[in-house]
Amino acid sequence: MNENQKKILRILKLIFYFFAVILSAAFILKFFNIGGSDYFNGILNALEWTQFLILAIVVLVIGFVVLALIQTFFGKRSLTDNSASQASVLIKINAPNATLKSFIALLVAIGFAVLLNYILLSPDAVFVQGQTLEFGIFEKVLFGLFYVIAHFLVIVFGTRLVKGSPPVFVATEKGFHYEPAGIGSGWILWKDVTEARESAVFYGSTTTQTPVLVPVFGIKLRNPELQSKNAYSPLLQKLSGVAQKLNNYQTEGVGDILIKPSDLGKDYEKVKALFEEKVGQ
């Protein structure tokens, strides 16, 4: 862990402590019914508004990410030099067969979408009669967000089940293409790569619920803004720009494209050797 990553970890801890204090204070005031004075009522109102603002920011960020992914899915494009894709293939790594996983994911997404449509069309069968009239704009926006996500996942998993997953990594004499989870880097020419080396970045962990350092193979591009513009939709370009800045800060300069060795499996060393051969020629 380098010094930049230690700073990020300290900031994350401060944010966590801030949230913990806000939530704990609001819970204590409500649970013990502390109030009766303008002072405590003012504190409770401030804490509730802080909780609401935090939740609203989270929903807005998630909504923006979802819209960016939808825009990318329905408007995939790559304006990069197609000569790389037409050159002789050096390495091609296909995604592992995930037909069963895609089928199960599709069934779950369909079930989620059916449930939301049932709630939308028959609200009185789910809620107490008249309860929906009490829902404010925030609850309606939140429901709409889940509604969009559910139907988008049906389309994504259905398409993946029918078409299959694209190759995770393809390298030719002219360049390479990396697409680990349906969002590709676009074709990148070897001459546009200025540096490539092993590093590590923080990723969220589903087991520890805390960020963990994950090994990556970091790539520095000559013009990352152009690559992002050519490969991503306008909304995803904004997310990509933020991610690249954060990744470059963590990796100390090689965070424009991050390749996870776990995506390449046993072929990782072969890909690493190819980058060492091609970069700087």
Among 138, 163, 188, the domain boundary falls at: 163
Distance CA 67, CA 130 (A): 32
CA distance 175 to 160: 26
Residues 268 and 186 both lie in one domain: yes
The mean per-residue pLDDT over the stretch 228-251 comes to 89
Contacts of 79 (CB under 8 A, 6+ apart): 186, 229, 230, 231
The pTM score is 0.78
| Mean pLDDT score of the chain | 85
| Angle, alpha carbons 148-149-155 (nearest 5°) | 90
- Do 86 and 170 belong to one domain? yes
Say yes or no: 120 and 36 in one domain.
no
Residue at which a domain ends, from 132, 147, 163? 163
pLDDT at position 114 is 96
Q: Do residues 140 and 57 lie in contact, with contact meaning Cβ atoms separated by under 8 Å?
A: no
Residues 21 and 142 reside in one and the same domain: no
Structural domain count, the chain: 3
Local confidence band at 17 (pLDDT 50, 70, 90 cut-offs): confident
In the three-class reduction of DSSP (H, G, I as helix; E, B as strand; rest coil), residue 74 is classed as helix
Decide: residue 133, CB within 10 A, 0-12 exposed, 13-18 middle, 19+ buried: exposed
> 120 with 220, same domain?
no
Q: Are residues 8 and 147 in the same domain?
A: no
How confident is the model over 182-236, as pLDDT tens digits?
Answer: 778 888 999 999 999 999 998 875 555 677 889 999 999 999 888 888 888 888 8
Q: Angle at which helices 234-251 and 224-231 pack, to 10 degrees?
A: 140
User: Which tops the pLDDT comparison, 26 or 12?
Assistant: 12
Does one domain contain both 85 and 192? yes
Nearest partner of 187 among 80, 83, 91, 86, judged by Cα:
80
189 phi/psi in degrees, rounded to 5: -75, 145
State both tokens at 223.
């013009």
Which domain range does residue 192 map to? 75-95+166-278
β-strand 175-178 against 211-221: which pairing, if any?
A: unpaired
183 and 269 in a single domain? The answer is yes
- The answer on 193 and 245 residing in a single domain is yes
Q: Distance between CA 220 and CA 217 in Å, rounded?
A: 10
Q: Are residues 266 and 189 in the same domain?
A: yes
Q: Are residues 134 and 218 both part of a single domain?
A: no
> 192 and 84 share a domain?
yes
The gap between the terminal CA atoms of the chain, to the nearest Å, is 31
pLDDT tens for residues 33-87? 665 566 667 777 777 788 788 888 888 999 999 998 898 888 765 444 567 888 8
**For the segment 126-139, what is each residue's pLDDT rounded down to a tens digit?**
777 777 777 778 88
